[in-house]
Structure 1
Amino acid sequence: MTMAENEGTPAEKEPMNSNTNTDSSGRTDAVTLKKEMGLLQGVAIIVGTIVGSGIFVSPKGVLQYSGSVGASLMLWAACGVVSLVGAMCYTELGTFILISGADYAYIRHSFGNFVGFLFLWVLLVIITPTSNAIIALTFANYMIQPFFPHCPNPEIPTRLLAAACLCLLTFVNCASVKWANKVQVFFTAAKLLALAIIIITGIVRFAMGHTESFENAFEGSSDLAGDYGLAFFSGFFSYTGWNYLNFVTEEIKNPNKNLPRSIWISIPVVTGFYILVNIAYFTVLSPAEMLASDAVAVTFAEKMFGIMAWIMPVFVACSCFGGLNGCIIASSRLFFIGGRNGHLPDFLSLINTKHFTPVPALLFSCILSLLMLVTTDVYTLISYMTFIEVLIVFMSVTGLLYLRYREPNAVRPIKVSLWIPISFVLMCFVLLVLPLIFEAKECLIGILIMSTGIPVYWLGVLWKRKPKSFLNLTASFTILVQKMFMAVQEDETPAEVKFE
């Protein structure tokens, strides 16, 4: 989809790489994404995207399938361990392939352009925009809920607030990477404070002797292996987001140190919080009450905080706000890298010369997410993609093993023990088989959606002899975007970008 590849197109009349930024001292900076993210910002992105609304709203899936309090707590810990194992694989990938884009970049580097494009396509058309829309809608629902305590939230104001949230965070990310990082750190702290309030309340309740749920903790545990697989599947997706820092590898200060440190700090912190929060829930709610609740943290607050129960919906909204900010950061870099690789239109690879942010990619991501807000099928769409999300991670770590074979002598700043990626690939394989058995229809629909990228790849990437009128049109549009947003292509790109 490189729109200015033929001679004579309008793109040649105005070089896309001609602009640089000069500060007051006369120093000229290259136009590229700046390394603005340190250890604190890295931890905030991972924790902030993992801890969304799930732990507040619906941790009952693990309990429902496992059948007992003790088994559910063990599964929450196991999910954290598996997430850490996967994240360790991503530390090797992220320090070996030092380009942003995470799974798309790793799959493309390992298996080639075609396979990389298919996963980029499904991320583009379904996973990213629907995920952002759902988080924005959850934020809006919990912000509005205190004003409508005894009736359903009105639909139109909810969607408008969700749209406003998306637009506000997109503006922040367009204006400054530092602003976006500050938003991420602040709201990550807010959600950890909310979890800490729940945990402290649980500790007090436990000390007062409210331990009924923990007596005979394993009574009622399921004796079916399939149930434990589904319980694990439910818990594992509450940890989704542990790979999001890899989407911004090029913007991390000293990535060989800060990327792995951020991961090794974040996953154990989240795992500890998740286990303690679930224990706290059980000191206030019986297993039956938890299974009956649609928003466990809100039910918890109503029983414990009385007139101050409204604070929990606000905290859930703050959690969603911070999580959405992290998703916007990641998705915009994904589209930016796709444009830079020639797999998406050229205008997505442009960087604003003043703020050094990928403004066109950010706006494109925002528009796709806003379009998802107008459909009532957004939750249905994301259900089709659960299988594909596991497949993406599976392919990325399989790529790590393949690269060990293909490039055995390459320098790897971090090289994990071979049993780590092998064990993670095997676990992902189990997570792929279970949905194929129990939810075959959803899995097949997800695969069908991904396969629609095949003709798009042929038309957009492989077909080099496009009509000159089409090339002129797309090149003119790219120049228009450059002028509108004062944006150019970056001056320096990593060598791996040229991989074919």
Structure 2
Amino acid sequence: MTEYDLQSPTSEVVLLTPSNQNPPVGLGMNGDDNTPSGSGTNKQREGSAESNDSRVRMKKQLGLLEGVAIILGVIFGSGIFISPKGVIREVDAVGTSLVIWVLSGLLSMIGALCYAELGTAIPKSGGDYAYILEAYGSLPAFLYLWDAMMIFVPTTNAIMGLTFASYVLQPFFENNCKIPEAALQLLAAVTICFLTYLNSSYMKVTTKMQNVIMFTKIAALVLIILVGLVWMCMGNVENFKRPFEDTETDPGKIAVAFYSGIFSYAGWNYLNFMTEELRDPYKNLPRAIYISLPLVTGIYVLANTAYLAVLTPQQMIASDAIAVTFGNKVLGAFSFIIPILVAISAFGGLSVHIMTTSRMCFVGARNGHMPALLSQISVKKFTPLPSLVFMCVLSLIMLVVSDVYVLITYSSIVESFFIMLSVSAVLYFRYTRPNMERPIVVSLWIPIVFVIICAFLIVVPIFAAPYEVFMGVLITAIGIPFYYVGVVWRNKPVWLIKLISSLTYTCQKLFLSAREDKSD
């Protein structure tokens, strides 16, 4: 873990390299590296990936279309094709289920508006981490980063990789034959490694691929919606005759249903992780959000309407892959299309997730909350290669953890708390920094409503699922000693500094990477 003086960012710690000479490129142990960054005195040279600017820094390669593709790529993922049953299972009524899908979309749009203000007022990559650090300081930001890097991100990567693998391998096994777990894990591992390599070495290819996959996902959902509409036009509307009959009224179960709905919308804040790579972020960040969220909400509500028209609530609850069950019932010989589209969606969602979350790891290291070697950038590809490799390794470890889904359950409420904390920063900055430059200003009631609703969704599960909440808090609390040892403890022994220096030096040579050039 690195040291970082938040009060005196220009402080300098001299390190010893294996040769006992001046530190090599990018070995500064504080948050503001004063060593060369790999660009020397020549700030312009030929052969840059984007222009004649050869400075080692993240390049602005993302436009409006790529921004929309990133948001849709993460949100759509594979969840809407696999498990919308979480809502209907809790509320037991078709009408109530659709109401929750609408309200979850509206809540996501309200939150996204707040992130548009935060992302343009604080135009830094890192998303929630950057906003919590700016508003509430080092420890809360570190704990969010701890949960995200150790639990949220690698477990999600592992689950998305396993989802892709299961849909690719299923056609090779008979209906009653279970896919070997080792085969799923191996294919998921290969997929994660391949996409990490693609995001490390071919950023342009990755973004173009996301654009294509985005339209593929939309086409798949439009297909489901059209089939559902045709089904209803043929007179099959019996599932909607008494939409609110026997609906659940227990606040705890309704809150859990909202969690399922909101989880399916998760990802609307991921473009904020890559603000520094977005061209004209003051325009393209809010525009991408304004385009994506209404589109997602409309598609999700219509897709769930189609599911509920074709399948009964009992059939939805019993299905492990609702889109496949849907296709088998109404598409006949063409039902094979659905598994292919789900596999493509899972593949694209995993690629976007790997790309965006690696930037949060990179920014955390740049601020001294992660090892210094993770704040380096490839001098050839201008991507955060060490961070990508680090997250890849953690994701591979999660593939062999038997209780990976349980870890996400434990951490989901904690993650919601940090999202609430990020949005509350809008209110905090309005009070403490009234003159702060804000290219976009949302009405004050928007963050207030979001924070109140999130607080309700956080408090209710404390009584409904106290064990899960306790485990989530415990996982977060485990990060506190690491914070004090890695970040606060300054007088580290010389042998430890030498070890960190040697490791950083070796990784620099291995990845051909250097610290970011911050000069303009």
Give the TM-score range, shorter chain.
over 0.9
Residue identity in the other structure for 1:127: F
Corresponding position: 1:94 with 2:104? no
Aligned-partner Cα distance in 1 for 2:164–2:81: 12
Corresponding position: 1:57 with 2:82? yes
Corresponding position: 1:112 with 2:137? yes
Q: What is the aligned counterpart of 2:24 among 8, 14, 24?
A: 14
Aligned residues of 1:100 and 1:337 also touching (Cα < 8 A): yes
Aligned residues of 2:90 and 2:254 also touching (Cα < 8 A): yes
Aligned-partner Cα distance in 2 for 1:344–1:225: 40
Deviation of the 1:220 alpha carbon: 2.2
Q: Mean alpha-carbon deviation: is it higher for 147-156 or for 342-351? A: 147-156
Q: What is the aligned counterpart of 1:122 among 147, 155, 160?
A: 147
Residue identity in the other structure for 1:394: M
Aligned residues of 1:3 and 1:471 also touching (Cα < 8 A): no
Alignment correspondent of 1:420: 446
Alignment correspondent of 1:155: 181
The CA deviation string for residues 34-92 of structure 1, in whole angstroms up to 9 with x for no partner, is 11111111111111101122211111121122221111111111110000000000001
Residue identity in the other structure for 1:6: V
Q: Indicate the SS of the match to 1:158.
A: helix
Alignment correspondent of 2:348: 322
Residue identity in the other structure for 2:441: K
Aligned-partner Cα distance in 2 for 1:416–1:28: 36
Structural mapping, 1:263-282, within 5 Å: 263-282=289-308
Corresponding position: 1:465 with 2:491? yes
Aligned residues of 1:101 and 1:333 also touching (Cα < 8 A): yes
Q: Which runs of 5+ in 2 are unaligned?
A: 5-11, 27-35
Corresponding position: 1:311 with 2:311? no
Deviation of the 1:7 alpha carbon: 2.2
Q: What is the aligned counterpart of 1:78 among 99, 103, 106?
A: 103
Aligned-partner Cα distance in 1 for 2:209–2:52: 29
Number of equivalences:
494
Corresponding position: 1:167 with 2:193? yes
Aligned residues of 1:359 and 1:485 also touching (Cα < 8 A): yes
Residue identity in the other structure for 1:189: F
The CA deviation string for residues 115-171 of structure 1, in whole angstroms up to 9 with x for no partner, is 111111111111111111111111111111122241221111110010011011101
The CA deviation string for residues 325-383 of structure 1, in whole angstroms up to 9 with x for no partner, is 11111221011001100111111011111110010000001000001111111111111
Aligned-partner Cα distance in 2 for 1:428–1:443: 15
Aligned-partner Cα distance in 2 for 1:351–1:233: 37
Alignment correspondent of 1:228: 254
Q: Post-superposition, which runs of at least 4 consecutive aligned residues in structure 1 deviate over 4 A?
A: none
Aligned-partner Cα distance in 2 for 1:216–1:27: 65
Q: What is the aligned counterpart of 1:481 among 488, 491, 507?
A: 507
Q: What is the aligned counterpart of 2:46 among 23, 27, 52?
A: 23
> When you count helix as a share of all residues, which structure comes out higher?
1
**1:222–1:493: structure 2 CA closer, same or farther, 3 Å change rule?**
farther
TM-score when scaled to structure 1?
A: 0.95
Aligned residues of 1:53 and 1:316 also touching (Cα < 8 A): yes
TM-score when scaled to structure 2?
A: 0.92
Aligned-partner Cα distance in 2 for 1:319–1:299: 17
Identity, in percent, stands at 48
Q: Mean alpha-carbon deviation: is it higher for 229-238 or for 5-14? A: 5-14
Deviation of the 1:291 alpha carbon: 2.1
Aligned-partner Cα distance in 1 for 2:37–2:304: 55
Q: Indicate the SS of the match to 1:363.
A: helix
